[in-house]
Structure 1
Amino acid sequence: MNPSTALAHVLVDELIRGGVREVVLAPGSRSAPLAYAVQQAEREGRLRLHVRVDERTAGFLALGLAKGSGTPVPVITTSGTAVANLHPAVLEAHHTGVPLIVLSADRPAELRGTGANQTTVQPGIFGGAVRWSVDLPAPESVESVGAFHRTSVCRALSAALGDLMGGSLAGAGGPVHLNVGFRDPLTPDFVPQRGTSAGPSARSTRPVGAQSRDGSGVHEGRADGAPWVQVPGDGWFSGAESIADVPRTLVVVGDLTFSSVRSSQVVAWARAQGFPVIAEPVGDHDRSLVIPHGPLLLTDREWVGAHLPDRIVVAGRVTLSRAVGGLLRAEGVEVHVHPAGPDWADPSHVVSRVGELTELIGRATGDVVVDESWATSWRDAGSLVAEAVQKDAAPWGTGLAVASVVGESLPDGAQLFVGSSNPVRDLDLGLTPRSAPLTVAANRGLAGIDGCLSTAIGLALTTDAPSYAWVGDLTFLHDSNALAVGPDEPHPDLTILVTNDGGGGIFRTLEHGAPERADDFTRIFGTPTGTDFGALCRAHGIRHVLAETREAAAEALSAKPAGITVVEVPVDAESHRGAHERLREVARAALAISG
C-alpha cells in the first residue's frame, strides 16, 4: 500500500467512526486517493456517496445534506480553483452554523510555491469563515500515517458540531477545513479478486487501501469501532457514562485557569472517589491531598511500569512535566481528558475520551470501586519519596533548594505567580509538601517568559492575599519595564523572587546542556548578561534584597509584602542538571526499598 492510499483510508475510516454517513465528491486527480476510499466505503455499506461535476454545486449539496441531517457532511475536492469554488457554501455554513467539512486535496510541500500545475495557497483560504482548520502534510510512508491523522479528524468533527469543551464556553458549530497533501502515486495498488485477470484493466479488482482492516500496516482505529477520540455530542461519548468501572484510575490535575471548576474541587472529588492524584503546581488545591512530589515519582519508569493505572483522568491542561507526558503515552492506559476551555490538549494523540469538568465532579461517589491496594501503593510511594527528599535535601545554591524555602516560608493563603523555565520546574519537583493554603498561577498557555512581571502585578492588584512572584533572571529582564509604575497609578504589594543563574539555565537541564556539548553552550544557550539587579531596581525606586543564604531568603519571603520588593537569590548555573539528576536518584532509591 502506498502512503497516499493509507492516509485516505485512515481519514475516511475515522470520519465514518465519528458519525459521517453522507459524502459529496467532486472528481479530480489530486483527490483520487480520497475518491477511491469513499467509493469503497460506500460498497461496504458504511456511507452514501454523492458525485457532482461542479465544485460549487457539490459544496451546496453538502450544505443541504448537513443542514437536513444535523450531522457533519464532507465535500471532497481536488487542488487549485476547485477549493476556491467552495467558498460560497463555506460562507453560508459559517453564517448559519452548518457542520460542513471541506476535505481538500493539495500538493505535497515540495511542490508548493514552485509553479506546479493546479497549486495555490490553500491553507487559510477560507479565512475566519471556518471554525477550525488543519494542513495535513503528505506522509512519507505508510508507517507515518497514524493517531495524529485520526485525532485531526476528531477535532474537525468536534468543531463542526460545536462540541468543543468547556460547558458555557462550547463553541457554535460551523464549517471546518482539512487540507490534505497527497504525494504520487495517487492510485491504490490493486489486488485481483478470485477468478479474475491479474491485469490492471480487470473490472472486478478492488483497491487494497480502501479496506477497513487488511493487515497491511495501515494505522487501525479503536478496536470497538468507536472514534479515536469520543467527545460529548450526538452519537459521541456520553458524559453520563460511569467513571466507576475502572478500579485502577489515576487522576492528573493540570492548569485550570479560567475554568468554572477549580483544582481544589477536582482534587476533593478525586479523593472522595478514592483515586490517587498527581497534580502540577498551578492551582488552589490542598497540596496535602495529592501525592507528594508526584511528578518526581513518575521519573522512576521501573516503578511506574509495575504500578500502571488502567485509566488516567486528566483535568485541565498538563504542560509541564515530561514524566507526566510519558505516563500518558504508556501502552495499554486509557486516557480521558476534561479540559478547562474550548479545546483539549493531546500532543501525543493518546486521548480516547473528552468530557466536561462540571459533569466529572458532579458524579456520585457511592458506586465507585477502587483497587485499594494499588491506590495505597501510589500514596505510600509518594510519602517515601517525600521523606527521602527531606532527608537528602538539595544544597543551597540550587533552584530545588529555593523551591523548598518557598514551600516553607510563604504565609497561609499566599498567591504565587511562577514564571516559565526553571522556576516552575523547580517548584514542580522541589516544593515542600504543605497543608497551608497556597494558590499558584502561571502563564502556561504558551509557557513563554515574556510579560511575567506584568502578569504578576496584575494578579497582585486584584487580591488581598499576600502576593508573590518567582521568576528567573532572564524572565525578569524580559519584562523589567513592568517596574516602571507611574506615581499616580495603583501600586501592588508584591514580593518578586528572582533566582539569578546568569542566563538561560533551563537549557542546562535539557539535551543542550549535556557535558559533551559544553563548548557550544554558553554563547548560544547560556547567554549570560551580567546585569546588576540592585542597580536596576534602584533606577525604578524598587527595594532590592540580595539573599545569599537560606535564612536570608526565608526571612525575606515570610515578610508581608509591602510595595514592590525584589528578592534576588544567586543560583549556581552549573547546579541545575546535577541537582535534578540527584533528586531523581534519591527518588529511585526510596522506591527501590518499597518494591
Structure 2
Amino acid sequence: MRAPFSHINQAWSTLILERLHDQGVRDVCIAPGSRSAPLALAAAHLAERRDDLVLHTHFDERGLGFLALGLTRASGRPTALITTSGTAVPNLHPALVEAFQTHQPLIALTADRPPELIHCGANQAIEQPGLFALHVRAQLNLPPPDTAISAGALGADMDQCLQALHGADRGPVHINAPFREPLYGTSQLADFGPWLSDLRAPTRMPPIHEAVALPRLHGPVALVAGQLDPDEAEAVLALAQRAHLPILADIGSQLRLIDHPCVVPYPDLLCASPSGQHALAGLGQVIQFGGRITSKRLNQWLAGFAGEYWLVSAHSGCLDPERRAIPIQANIPAFCTQLDPPPQSDTGLVAAARALAPHLEAATEEPFSELSVARRLSQEIPQEMALFPGNSLSIRLLDAVAEPGLGQRCVTSRGASGIDGLVATAAGFARRHPGGLTLLLGDLSLLHDLNSLALTQGSSSPLVIVVLNNDGGAIFNLLPAQSQGEHFQPLFQLPHGLGFEHAATQFRLRYAAPKDIEAFAEAYQAACQRPGTTLIELTFPPDRGSQALTGLIQSIRDDAARR
C-alpha cells in the first residue's frame, strides 16, 4: 500500500479492498450509495492500478447479489459486493442464502453508520451486524476507521474472516464497515506510513486432507451424480468407465447431457418405467456423489433402496433428506481415483432407459408444449454454450426429457431452489463464460427478477433467455395444490395475463415469440450465433406442460402393461 492518503477512511478502505484482492477477488459488484463511498472509491482506484480487477454496477442490491453469484459460479473465484447502509443490506440476503447452501465464496461488504447513530432515528441506520448470521460462514463487524487501530490489526482481522472463503466448507462472509463523516478525503495528503508500519502479508491456511475409509464394493453397483462441479463430474465418469458402472445423472451433475455408454439417459423417466424399476431392483449398492437431486422419483427410489447406500460430498453438511445414506466427506476427484471397483456385468439400466426414446419422441411432437421446447433446446444448444435451467417447472422438464448429446456445462441454482435472481445469476455467469449461456425459466421467475434484465445489456457473448409463459405457476398443476378447487388459481397458480415484449423493448433486448417448435428452433439457433441478449417468449395454456408430462409417464406405463 502507498503511505500518503488524504483521510483515514481512504486508507482503511484501500486496505480492505487490497486484502480482498490478495484473497483472489477479481470482480467487485457495487450498488450506489453515500455511506459506502469510501469503499466504492477505493475499489475504483484499485481497479485503475490492477488490470485484473473488474467493477460491476447495478441499481438494485438484490439483483447485484445474484449477479455476483453468477460471476463466482463461472469463475470459481470469490466475488465482493459493496452496498450502502440500511435496507440496501438485507436485499443481499437471498443471494447469500443460495451461496451458503452451495458453498460459493461471496463477500458482503456493507457500509454502516457508526455506533452512535444507531437507535437514535438517524437516516438509513439499522442493526446490520449479525444480519446474515445463519447464512454466512464467517462475519466481521469492524469498528469505524481510527488510526488508534493499526493497519496490522485490521489486516489480521480481515485475513481471519476471509479464511472462510476457502476450503471444503467454504462459503459467503459478511464484513460490516461503519464510517464516520466526513466520508470523503481532501486534496491534502497525510503520511500514513506509521499506521501501516505493522501491516503483514496476508496469510492463508493450507488445506487439510484427511484419510478417508473407502467403502467395500459388492455388485451390482450404480453411481448417482447430484450437483457436481466439472472436475468432480469428470472424475466420476472416469470411475464409471474403469468398471463399466452405470451413472444415474441429475441435470446439474455435468453428466446428464453426455451421450456416453455409462451414463443412463432419462433417469427420472426410468424410475417411472416398469422395466427400469425391474433393472433398479437388481442393484446391490449405490454410491452417490453430491446432493440435491432434482427428480422426485429418483429421490423416492433412493429413499426406499434396500442395498448399501453411500453419499460422497466434499462438504460436511448433510445432503440426504431421508438420512439413510452412509456419509463420506472427501475430495471427490481424489476419492474416485482411490476407489478400485472390479468390472461388473451389464445392469440393463442403460438399455431400459434408451428404450424410452420412442415415447419421448411421440410426447414432444404434438402439441407444441413446454415439454417439446425442453427437449428441442437440449438438441439445439451449441457445445460451447452453458445451460441454466430455472427452478420450478423448467428444471424438472429438462431433467426428465433432455436428450443426451455433447455434454454442455449445466449451471443450476439448487441450494435453496428459489425462483428469485435467476436472470441476474445468468447475467453474471455469462460475463465469465465466453461460450455464452441459455437460461430456460418460467414467467413468474422472470417477473420476479425483471429489473435484472438491465444487467444483460451489452453481453459480449450470446445470452439467450427462453421464457415459458403459461400465465402463472404451472408447476402447481403437478402438485397436490391442483385439487384445491376454487382456491387453486388465486392462492397457487396466480394467473397474471402479462407478456414480455414491451419489457424486451424497455431493456433494449432482441425479442422473438415463435408459435411452433420449428419456429422456436430457428429463433433459438439465430440467437445462439450472435453476441448480446435475446429474449424468446413462448406462450402456452396453463395446464399444457403438466398434461404433456403426465401423458408421457402414462404412455410408458401403458406400454409396459400391454407387453
TM-score, scaled to structure 2? 0.59
1:389 maps onto 2:360 in alignment:
yes
CA offsets 1:235-294 (integer angstroms, 9 cap, x no match):
xxx734354x3111111111124xx83323312322322111111112433521211111
Which residue of the other structure, out of 426, 451, 458, is the alignment partner of 1:456? 426
Which residue of the other structure, out of 283, 299, 307, is the alignment partner of 2:272? 299
Q: C-alpha separation between the residues in 1 aligned to 2:531 and 2:258?
A: 27
For 1:268-287, what aligned pairs fall within 5 Å after superposition? 268-285=238-255, 287=258
Q: C-alpha separation between the residues in 2 aligned to 1:310 and 1:256?
A: 24
Partner in structure 2 of residue 507 of structure 1: 476
Partner in structure 1 of residue 320 of structure 2: 346
CA offsets 1:132-164 (integer angstroms, 9 cap, x no match):
9xxxxxxxxxxxxxxxxxxxxxxxxxxxxxxxx
Q: Alpha carbons of 1:304 and 1:167: their partners in 2 closer, same or farther (altered >3 Å)? A: farther
1:402 maps onto 2:373 in alignment:
yes
Q: C-alpha separation between the residues in 2 aligned to 1:486 and 1:363?
A: 43
Root mean square deviation, CA, Å: 3.1
CA offsets 1:220-247 (integer angstroms, 9 cap, x no match):
xxxxxxxxxxxx999xxx734354x311
Q: C-alpha separation between the residues in 2 aligned to 1:336 and 1:505?
A: 35
The runs of 5 or more residues in structure 1 that have no matched partner are 1-123, 133-165, 172-231
Partner in structure 2 of residue 249 of structure 1: 221
Q: Alpha carbons of 1:578 and 1:418: their partners in 2 closer, same or farther (altered >3 Å)? A: same
Q: C-alpha separation between the residues in 2 aligned to 1:445 and 1:295?
A: 20
Shift of the alpha carbon at 1:299? 2.1
Partner in structure 1 of residue 523 of structure 2: 556
Shift of the alpha carbon at 1:418? 1.2
**Partner AA of 1:445 in structure 2:** G
Partner in structure 2 of residue 524 of structure 1: 491
CA offsets 1:183-242 (integer angstroms, 9 cap, x no match):
xxxxxxxxxxxxxxxxxxxxxxxxxxxxxxxxxxxxxxxxxxxxxxxxx999xxx73435
Shift of the alpha carbon at 1:592? 5.6
Contact 2:509 2:534 in 1 (8 A): yes
Q: C-alpha separation between the residues in 1 aligned to 2:234 and 2:519?
A: 32
Contact 1:396 1:550 in 2 (8 A): no
Kindly name which structure, 1 or 2, has the bigger radius of gyration based on alpha carbons: 1
CA offsets 1:539-568 (integer angstroms, 9 cap, x no match):
111111001111111012222142111001
Which residue of the other structure, out of 307, 310, 321, is the alignment partner of 1:333? 307
State the identity %.
Answer: 24
CA offsets 1:93-146 (integer angstroms, 9 cap, x no match):
xxxxxxxxxxxxxxxxxxxxxxxxxxxxxxx9xx89x999xxxxxxxxxxxxxx
For 1:138-149, what aligned pairs fall within 5 Å after superposition? none
State the SS of the aligned residue for 1:441: coil
Shift of the alpha carbon at 1:589? 4.3
The runs of 5 or more residues in structure 2 that have no matched partner are 1-129, 139-164, 171-207
Higher relative contact order (CA 8 A, sep 6+): 2
Contact 2:387 2:439 in 1 (8 A): yes
State the SS of the aligned residue for 1:582: helix
Contact 1:498 1:568 in 2 (8 A): yes
Q: C-alpha separation between the residues in 1 aligned to 2:430 and 2:496?
A: 28
CA offsets 1:280-335 (integer angstroms, 9 cap, x no match):
11243352121111111112368525632221111111331111111111152221
Q: Alpha carbons of 1:382 and 1:591: their partners in 2 closer, same or farther (altered >3 Å)? A: farther
**Partner AA of 1:249 in structure 2:** V
Which residue of the other structure, out of 283, 289, 314, is the alignment partner of 2:288? 314
**Partner AA of 1:438 in structure 2:** Q
Q: Alpha carbons of 1:306 and 1:493: their partners in 2 closer, same or farther (altered >3 Å)? A: closer
**Equivalent residue pairs, number:** 362
State the SS of the aligned residue for 1:332: coil
Q: Alpha carbons of 1:385 and 1:458: their partners in 2 closer, same or farther (altered >3 Å)? A: same
Which residue of the other structure, out of 418, 421, 427, is the alignment partner of 2:398? 427
Q: C-alpha separation between the residues in 2 aligned to 1:303 and 1:490?
A: 43
Contact 1:418 1:469 in 2 (8 A): yes
Contact 1:450 1:479 in 2 (8 A): yes
Q: C-alpha separation between the residues in 2 aligned to 1:509 and 1:468?
A: 25
Q: C-alpha separation between the residues in 1 aligned to 2:490 and 2:407?
A: 42
1:358 maps onto 2:357 in alignment:
no
Q: Alpha carbons of 1:284 and 1:347: their partners in 2 closer, same or farther (altered >3 Å)? A: closer
**Partner AA of 2:251 in structure 1:** P
TM-score, scaled to structure 1? 0.56
